[in-house]
Structure 1
Protein backbone atom coordinates (compact mmCIF):
# COMPACT_ATOMS: atom_id res chain seq x y z
CA UNK A 1 0.00 0.00 0.00
CA UNK A 2 2.80 2.45 0.88
CA UNK A 3 4.50 1.79 -2.46
CA UNK A 4 1.26 2.60 -4.32
CA UNK A 5 0.84 5.89 -2.43
CA UNK A 6 4.45 6.81 -3.14
CA UNK A 7 3.99 5.99 -6.84
CA UNK A 8 0.88 8.19 -7.03
CA UNK A 9 2.80 11.15 -5.58
CA UNK A 10 5.30 11.37 -8.44
CA UNK A 11 5.41 14.87 -9.82
CA UNK A 12 7.07 14.00 -13.14
CA UNK A 13 6.70 11.12 -15.57
CA UNK A 14 8.70 10.67 -18.76
CA UNK A 15 6.87 8.95 -21.61
CA UNK A 16 8.76 7.88 -24.69
CA UNK A 17 6.94 6.20 -27.55
CA UNK A 18 8.18 2.77 -28.52
CA UNK A 19 10.70 2.96 -31.33
CA UNK A 20 11.34 6.69 -30.84
CA UNK A 21 14.75 8.03 -29.88
CA UNK A 22 15.54 10.36 -26.99
CA UNK A 23 14.97 13.49 -29.07
CA UNK A 24 11.17 13.19 -28.88
CA UNK A 25 9.72 12.81 -25.39
CA UNK A 26 6.52 13.67 -23.50
CA UNK A 27 6.80 14.80 -19.90
CA UNK A 28 3.77 14.55 -17.60
CA UNK A 29 3.90 17.11 -14.81
CA UNK A 30 1.43 16.35 -12.04
CA UNK A 31 -0.29 19.06 -9.99
CA UNK A 32 0.57 21.73 -12.56
CA UNK A 33 -1.49 23.92 -14.87
CA UNK A 34 -1.24 26.58 -17.58
CA UNK A 35 0.98 28.80 -15.42
CA UNK A 36 3.94 26.46 -15.56
CA UNK A 37 3.00 24.86 -18.88
CA UNK A 38 2.97 28.02 -20.96
CA UNK A 39 5.98 29.59 -19.20
CA UNK A 40 8.06 26.45 -19.60
CA UNK A 41 6.97 25.98 -23.22
CA UNK A 42 8.07 29.54 -23.99
CA UNK A 43 11.49 29.10 -22.37
CA UNK A 44 12.11 25.75 -24.07
CA UNK A 45 11.15 27.12 -27.50
CA UNK A 46 13.83 29.82 -27.14
CA UNK A 47 16.42 27.02 -27.42
CA UNK A 48 17.56 26.85 -31.08
CA UNK A 49 18.00 23.06 -30.83
CA UNK A 50 14.29 22.57 -30.14
CA UNK A 51 12.06 21.84 -33.14
CA UNK A 52 8.76 21.61 -31.25
CA UNK A 53 7.53 22.15 -27.73
CA UNK A 54 3.89 22.18 -26.76
CA UNK A 55 1.75 21.35 -23.80
CA UNK A 56 -1.80 20.26 -23.18
CA UNK A 57 -4.07 19.71 -20.23
CA UNK A 58 -5.81 16.41 -20.76
CA UNK A 59 -9.00 17.38 -18.93
CA UNK A 60 -10.01 20.34 -16.72
CA UNK A 61 -10.66 18.04 -13.77
CA UNK A 62 -7.13 16.59 -13.93
CA UNK A 63 -4.32 18.65 -12.46
CA UNK A 64 -1.55 17.58 -14.81
CA UNK A 65 -0.03 18.76 -18.04
CA UNK A 66 1.58 16.89 -20.90
CA UNK A 67 4.64 18.69 -22.23
CA UNK A 68 6.02 17.38 -25.54
CA UNK A 69 9.53 18.24 -26.71
CA UNK A 70 11.17 17.38 -30.01
CA UNK A 71 14.77 18.41 -30.71
CA UNK A 72 17.20 18.41 -33.63
CA UNK A 73 19.52 15.89 -32.00
CA UNK A 74 19.99 16.91 -28.40
CA UNK A 75 18.22 14.64 -25.88
CA UNK A 76 14.83 16.14 -25.00
CA UNK A 77 15.56 15.73 -21.29
CA UNK A 78 18.49 18.16 -21.66
CA UNK A 79 16.21 20.75 -23.28
CA UNK A 80 13.69 20.20 -20.48
CA UNK A 81 16.34 20.74 -17.80
CA UNK A 82 17.69 23.83 -19.57
CA UNK A 83 14.16 25.25 -19.84
CA UNK A 84 13.58 24.71 -16.13
CA UNK A 85 16.91 26.38 -15.26
CA UNK A 86 16.23 29.32 -17.58
CA UNK A 87 12.74 29.78 -16.16
CA UNK A 88 14.11 29.67 -12.61
CA UNK A 89 16.70 32.31 -13.50
CA UNK A 90 14.05 34.61 -15.01
CA UNK A 91 11.77 34.18 -11.98
CA UNK A 92 14.61 34.93 -9.55
CA UNK A 93 15.49 38.06 -11.53
CA UNK A 94 11.89 39.28 -11.52
CA UNK A 95 11.64 38.63 -7.78
CA UNK A 96 14.89 40.53 -7.10
CA UNK A 97 13.72 43.53 -9.15
CA UNK A 98 10.32 43.48 -7.46
CA UNK A 99 11.80 43.32 -3.96
CA UNK A 100 14.30 46.12 -4.65
CA UNK A 101 11.51 48.28 -6.13
CA UNK A 102 9.32 47.73 -3.07
CA UNK A 103 12.24 48.61 -0.80
CA UNK A 104 13.03 51.75 -2.83
CA UNK A 105 9.36 52.78 -2.70
CA UNK A 106 9.22 52.26 1.05
CA UNK A 107 12.44 54.25 1.54
CA UNK A 108 11.18 57.13 -0.60
CA UNK A 109 7.85 57.29 1.22
CA UNK A 110 9.26 56.77 4.70
CA UNK A 111 9.31 60.52 5.42
CA UNK A 112 5.71 60.95 4.23
CA UNK A 113 4.53 58.30 6.68
CA UNK A 114 6.44 59.98 9.52
CA UNK A 115 4.78 63.36 8.75
CA UNK A 116 1.32 61.84 9.21
CA UNK A 117 2.12 60.67 12.76
Structure 2
Protein backbone atom coordinates (compact mmCIF):
# COMPACT_ATOMS: atom_id res chain seq x y z
CA UNK A 1 0.00 0.00 0.00
CA UNK A 2 1.41 3.36 -1.02
CA UNK A 3 0.41 6.43 1.01
CA UNK A 4 1.29 10.05 0.29
CA UNK A 5 0.19 13.44 1.61
CA UNK A 6 -2.06 15.58 -0.53
CA UNK A 7 -0.27 18.88 -1.20
CA UNK A 8 -1.76 22.07 0.22
CA UNK A 9 -2.16 21.16 3.90
CA UNK A 10 1.17 22.64 4.95
CA UNK A 11 -0.40 25.86 6.31
CA UNK A 12 -2.85 24.03 8.57
CA UNK A 13 -0.17 22.50 10.79
CA UNK A 14 0.45 18.85 11.59
CA UNK A 15 -3.05 18.30 13.02
CA UNK A 16 -4.87 18.57 9.70
CA UNK A 17 -3.85 16.36 6.79
CA UNK A 18 -5.25 14.54 3.77
CA UNK A 19 -3.54 11.30 2.80
CA UNK A 20 -3.80 9.61 -0.59
CA UNK A 21 -3.94 5.81 -0.52
CA UNK A 22 -3.08 4.21 -3.86
CA UNK A 23 -4.93 1.04 -4.88
CA UNK A 24 -7.45 1.36 -2.03
CA UNK A 25 -11.18 2.05 -1.92
CA UNK A 26 -14.25 2.13 0.33
CA UNK A 27 -13.31 -1.16 1.98
CA UNK A 28 -10.31 0.30 3.80
CA UNK A 29 -11.69 3.84 3.94
CA UNK A 30 -14.88 3.03 5.81
CA UNK A 31 -13.27 0.60 8.27
CA UNK A 32 -10.42 3.00 9.08
CA UNK A 33 -12.79 5.96 9.41
CA UNK A 34 -14.97 4.06 11.90
CA UNK A 35 -11.96 3.29 14.09
CA UNK A 36 -10.33 6.74 13.98
CA UNK A 37 -13.60 8.60 14.61
CA UNK A 38 -13.73 6.99 18.06
CA UNK A 39 -10.48 8.63 19.18
CA UNK A 40 -11.02 11.42 21.69
CA UNK A 41 -8.71 13.98 20.05
CA UNK A 42 -10.19 13.61 16.54
CA UNK A 43 -12.38 16.48 15.37
CA UNK A 44 -13.03 15.12 11.87
CA UNK A 45 -12.19 11.99 9.94
CA UNK A 46 -13.55 11.07 6.54
CA UNK A 47 -12.62 9.74 3.15
CA UNK A 48 -13.57 10.08 -0.50
CA UNK A 49 -12.93 8.10 -3.63
CA UNK A 50 -12.48 10.96 -6.12
CA UNK A 51 -13.59 9.00 -9.18
CA UNK A 52 -14.42 5.32 -9.75
CA UNK A 53 -11.93 5.16 -12.63
CA UNK A 54 -9.09 6.30 -10.34
CA UNK A 55 -7.65 3.62 -8.07
CA UNK A 56 -7.10 5.85 -5.04
CA UNK A 57 -8.75 7.11 -1.88
CA UNK A 58 -8.35 10.47 -0.10
CA UNK A 59 -8.39 10.17 3.70
CA UNK A 60 -8.77 13.34 5.81
CA UNK A 61 -7.90 13.65 9.52
CA UNK A 62 -8.28 16.75 11.72
CA UNK A 63 -7.34 16.66 15.39
CA UNK A 64 -7.13 19.09 18.29
CA UNK A 65 -3.47 18.55 19.17
CA UNK A 66 -2.24 15.10 18.14
CA UNK A 67 -0.39 15.03 14.80
CA UNK A 68 -2.62 13.58 12.08
CA UNK A 69 0.11 11.16 10.98
CA UNK A 70 0.28 9.72 14.51
CA UNK A 71 -3.49 9.21 14.48
CA UNK A 72 -3.32 7.53 11.07
CA UNK A 73 -0.60 5.12 12.24
CA UNK A 74 -2.57 4.29 15.39
CA UNK A 75 -5.73 3.72 13.34
CA UNK A 76 -3.98 1.36 10.94
CA UNK A 77 -2.51 -0.63 13.86
CA UNK A 78 -5.90 -0.83 15.59
CA UNK A 79 -7.58 -1.94 12.37
CA UNK A 80 -4.94 -4.66 12.00
CA UNK A 81 -5.76 -5.87 15.53
CA UNK A 82 -9.47 -6.03 14.69
CA UNK A 83 -8.72 -8.02 11.52
CA UNK A 84 -6.41 -10.41 13.40
CA UNK A 85 -9.05 -10.99 16.07
CA UNK A 86 -11.71 -11.62 13.42
CA UNK A 87 -9.54 -14.18 11.63
CA UNK A 88 -8.68 -15.95 14.91
CA UNK A 89 -12.34 -16.10 15.93
CA UNK A 90 -13.32 -17.47 12.54
CA UNK A 91 -10.61 -20.12 12.58
CA UNK A 92 -11.68 -21.35 16.05
CA UNK A 93 -15.10 -22.34 14.67
CA UNK A 94 -15.57 -25.68 12.97
CA UNK A 95 -16.52 -24.82 9.40
Q: Does the alignment reach a TM-score above 0.5?
A: yes
Structure 1 residue runs of 4+, over 4 Å off? none
More helix by share: 1
1:84 aligns with 2:84: no
Higher RCO, 1 or 2 (CA under 8 Å, sep at least 6)? Answer: 2
Q: Which has the larger radius of gyration?
A: 1
More strand by share: 2
Structure 1, residues 32-86: CA drift from partner, whole Å, max 9, x if none? 0100000001111111110000000000001100000000100000100010011
Report the equivalent of 1:12: 3
Question: How many residues are treated as equivalent by the alignment?
Answer: 94
Question: What TM-score does the superposition give when structure 1 sets the normalisation length?
Answer: 0.77
Gaps of 5+ in 1: 1-9, 107-117
The CA distance in 2 between the partners of 1:98 and 1:41, in whole Å, is: 24
Gaps of 5+ in 2: none
